[in-house]
Amino acid sequence: MTAAASFMALLAATGAVPAALADDFAPPAEAPTSALAQFQQKAQSAFEGDALTAPATTAAADGLPEGNTWRYSEFIRAVMGGKVERVRFSKDGSALQLTAVDGRRASVTLPNDPELVDILAKNGVDISVSEGDQQGNYASLFGNLLFPLLAFGGLFFLFRRAQGGEGGGGGFGGMGGGGPMDFGKSKSKFQEVPETGVTFVDVAGVDGAKLELQEVVDFLKNPDKYTALGAKIPKGCLLVGPPGTGKTLLAKAVAGEAGVPFFSCAASEFVEMFVGVGASRVRDLFEKAKSKAPCIVFIDEIDAVGRQRGAGMGGGNDEREQTINQLLTEMDGFEGNTGVIVLAATNRPDVLDSALLRPGRFDRQVTVDLPDVAGRIRILKVHARGKTIGKDVDYDKVARRTPGFSGAALQNLLNEAAILAARRELSEISKEEIADALERIVAGAAKEGAVMSEQKKKLVAYHEAGHAIVGALMPEYDPVTKISIVPRGNAGGLTFFAPSEERLESGLYSRSYLENQMAVAMGGRVAEELIFGAENVTTGASGDFQQVSRTARMMVEQMGFSEKIGQIALKTGGGGSFLGNDAGRAADYSQTTANLVDEEVKTLVETAYRRAKDLVTENIGCLHAVADVLLDKENIDGDEFEKIMLAAKARLYLKEDNESIEVPFKTA
């Protein structure tokens, strides 16, 4: 039976087609060939629009399947029949390409058949494996690289965003970029025409430093005047002084006066976590400076990178040492830096490397000290510009009340006074606002709304009056400027003294002055004891005792003011240790000496107590007078205090130590 006849018989048996159709398809026995042709024609017309077409199953005349794709079963039959010459497996083993004996080629999808290779080998089929499609390899390679490329691109984008967000400001006014390759670029600020807004007119109180820097400015403006005499321009000037004295302000004034290109940066900008970045930024800075010569390079807080190499606990820092080595080379190396003047500022000259301080790098060290009285007057007048100052303000008196104040501190003083005047809705700044601002800076803000009992108020008044009377009547001591029983910070009251300008500038204190200072500190406790009784004294003098003990111990251990210890420095006053000045440090003397030191300290403290008690007892009337005014007004200035003392007929203390006065809690 032919395939068509079998197919139609199956349809007729299942009733899948009408009977007439079955009759029409019934093959006559006498003409099988024509019936087959008729079936093929009708089947083609019946299924013409169907998308599902079964693979050809009819074998060719040579017994091989038709088409380019064979079924696995057909492939096995062809192999068993010796009709397959060779096969080539795909790289993953899921398919193969075959070549038949007649030269035809076809592909076969393979199931998981472990016996296939044995069948092929037994039938003499040539077996090979494909190395893969080259195009597929390229696609696979690109797929493997796609994620790393995307990740790198994302990081690059984020880094560009971060660099741009920092300002683009890292560059020299547009000369620096901010891209990822700019790690080694200097972050200095560059001004082709300096517009700092500061000249030497705006700098006061540091005349010596200003004179030396004016020579640098004159050299830049008139170089011929100096070169004709063989003088060379200074390569560097190091500004040294306490914080707030105007070192950075002087550098701005030099830039404003010279009128040459100006580079400014902080030394901390050279330091990075990446090794070599600091040295690279130094090179970049000086390359740009050389291209703009003559010019000025200002490095603020140079001690950040200029510290002594290899110093400190744990050894040196390799990155910082590379940076300072590059800085040394750029300032005075083989090539030199002609026309580039380096200004640097620091308040720690003791930690700088000696190679940085030598002539040829920093030819001049300009000391910017704290201003004296005349300097403070000029500084106050400079900072008073633009402020409405009352006619009652005496700059001389303000300057004398502010010894040890730097230029920045004086500027802050006038600013605080202006804020107080605005708070009080005043049209100008009077001397009261300046005085209140000074007290606020020195002792803290006053607790205006604090409620004190009458007993506590009386106790504080007598305590502060005791300090003031002892200080005023002790010879060679500082004058009283103000007494207050208004609470400030942790203090219930305060007594202000005007320290001597000469002693502050020289740093020299006599033995008598230190002894008087201890007696003044004891004056508060003595007044409490005399008025309220020894059983009613309070802890208000604890801070005074700390001051007295510290002064007495320094006199014995460091200053040679003890007869029993002698002129021996048992301790040094310098700082030092990583954990603190004296932490973990053993004493440099024996226990016997330590006991002797304690005895001498007690002797000095007891002597100060007896002197204070003797003086207050003799001037008890002055004590009551001052305390009464304090209870009434809460504040007494220096002039009013002098009037009270004169009216009470106060007497200076000129006696020697009265050993008959009993010292409470005295140890044998």
- Please say whether the beta carbons of 556 and 562 come within 8 A: yes
- Please say whether the beta carbons of 88 and 97 come within 8 A: yes
Residue in 330, 439, 464, 557 annotated catalytic: 464
Count of C-beta atoms within a 10 Å radius of residue 456: 15
Nearest to 247 by CA among 420, 113, 370, 68: 370
DSSP 3-state of 667: coil
- Give counts: helices (H), strands (E), the chain: 23, 14
| One-letter amino acid of 266 | A
Q: β-strand 262-266 against 295-300: which pairing, if any? A: parallel
Distance CA 532, CA 535 (A): 8
The C-alpha angle with vertex 655 and arms to 649 and 659, in degrees rounded to 5, equals 125
- The contacts of residue 208 (CB under 8 Å, 6+ apart) are 366, 367
Distance CA 621, CA 626 (A): 9
Nearest to 240 by CA among 358, 370, 342, 346: 346
Count of C-beta atoms within a 10 Å radius of residue 643: 11
DSSP state of 25: T
- The contacts of residue 393 (CB under 8 Å, 6+ apart) are 429, 430, 431, 434
Residue spans of alpha helices (H) in 81-206: 116-122, 134-165
| One-letter amino acid of 413 | L
Nearest to 467 by CA among 608, 577, 358, 575: 608
| One-letter amino acid of 598 | D
The angle, 0 to 180 degrees and rounded to 10, between the axes of the packed helices 511-532 and 591-618 is: 60
Distance CA 372, CA 501 (A): 8
DSSP 3-state of 630: helix
Distance CA 75, CA 69 (A): 10
- Please say whether the beta carbons of 178 and 303 come within 8 A: no
Residue spans of alpha helices (H) in 444-572: 454-473, 501-506, 511-532, 542-557
What values do phi and psi take at 29, rounded to 5?
-70, -25
Q: What is the 3-state secondary structure (H, E, C) of 360-416?
A: CCCCEEEECCCCCHHHHHHHHHHHCCCCCECCCCCHHHHHHCCCCCCHHHHHHHHHH
- The contacts of residue 158 (CB under 8 Å, 6+ apart) are none
Peptide bond into 234 cis (omega under 30): no
Q: Is 618 a catalytic residue?
A: no
Distance CA 278, CA 280 (A): 5
Distance spanning both ends of the chain, measured CA to CA: 142
The C-alpha angle with vertex 112 and arms to 106 and 113, in degrees rounded to 5, equals 80
Distance CA 531, CA 91 (A): 110
Catalytic positions are: 464
